[in-house]
Amino acid sequence: MTVTTIQESKGAAGGVWVAALIFLPPALLLFTVFVILPIGEAAWYGFYNWDGYNRPQNFVGLKNYISLFNNSSFRTALLNNLIIIAVSLAIQLPLALAMALLLARRAFGSVAFRLIFFLPYILADVAAGLIFRFIFDGDYGPLSGATQALGFGPVYMLASPTWAMVALLVVIVWKYFGFHMMLFIAGLQGIDRNLYEAAEIDGAGAFQRFRFVTIPQLSPMIKLSVFFSVIGALQFFDVVVPLTGGGPFNATNTMVSFLYLFGITRMRVGFGSAVGVVLFVICVTFAFGYRRLLMRDD
């Protein structure tokens, strides 16, 4: 290396350090104030029987966590999160991929259909919950009206624990599959068309091209979509409260809605903090484990 090259490399390294000293402290301060401190406070409050007023003084140790896992409603909420994850992976993502394969090409009307399928994702979660609460209403909703017109009588989906969960899953698939569809379309449009032409020359059929060209090339986007689906399912909340309120009989609660209804609205802040800590541990464990096992090279 010449003297000039060495001086240039030293100058570049010095510039990096200067930039780090300028931009890192503000970012680190904001991250500490808005992320690290709230997490630490929640973990601390989880050891107290606290109603949110004054300073927590009634130390109960692990009692909140023991009560949490002995609570049947929390176990139901945890199971509901797992059901949402399963439906997202088994129905929502395959549906999104199928629609992406149909709309990825620049055919007539494809852009309009992309917009139509993506619009539910833009709609606010609370608004979507309120809209479908009206749709599934047994007295005035259009679904019940249609069944009565067919002679089957009114349908009170949101009054049944089983059917209320089905209604919630329908809303989830309807609202979020368009987001994953757009991710898949972006991935499909980035695949080199020469790969398909080479596979076709070699005699590969449509299914073989999909299996050996599309899926491997789309693998990074599929992994990212699975990651978003699982994390989103674990944190799912906004649609639950306006649609079902966690009912009937706490049958449609998720972990976050359970935290809100049993921790915040009932002023059991210590108990709610314990729920938040458990949810945080689950999300972080999944995120780092998934990143290490499946997204290491992406």
Tens digits of residue pLDDT in 165-181: 999 999 999 999 999 99
Please check whether residue 242 is in contact with residue 129, taking contact to mean a CB–CB distance below 8 angstroms: yes
Tens digits of residue pLDDT in 233-278: 999 998 999 999 998 989 999 999 999 988 888 888 899 999 999 9
The answer as to whether 271 is a domain residue is: no
The answer as to whether 51 is a domain residue is: no
DSSP 250: T
CA atoms within 13 Å, Cβ hemisphere of 154: 11
H helix count then E strand count, the chain: 15, 0
* Overall number of domains in the chain: 1
What is the domain-level CATH number for residue 151?
Answer: 1.10.3720.10
Which amino acid would we find at residue 41?
E
Bridge partner list, 48: 59
What is the rounded distance in angstroms from the CA atom of residue 41 to the CA atom of residue 47? 10
Q: Residue 49 CB: number of other CB atoms within 10 A?
A: 17
Q: How large is the average pLDDT for residues 173-195?
A: 91
How much of the chain is in helix, strand and coil states, percent to nearest 5? 75, 0, 25
Tens digits of residue pLDDT in 92-129: 999 999 999 998 877 778 889 899 999 999 999 999 99
Please check whether residue 81 is in contact with residue 255, taking contact to mean a CB–CB distance below 8 angstroms: yes
**Which residues span the domain enclosing 227?**
80-246
Bridge partner list, 59: 48
The answer as to whether 19 is a domain residue is: no
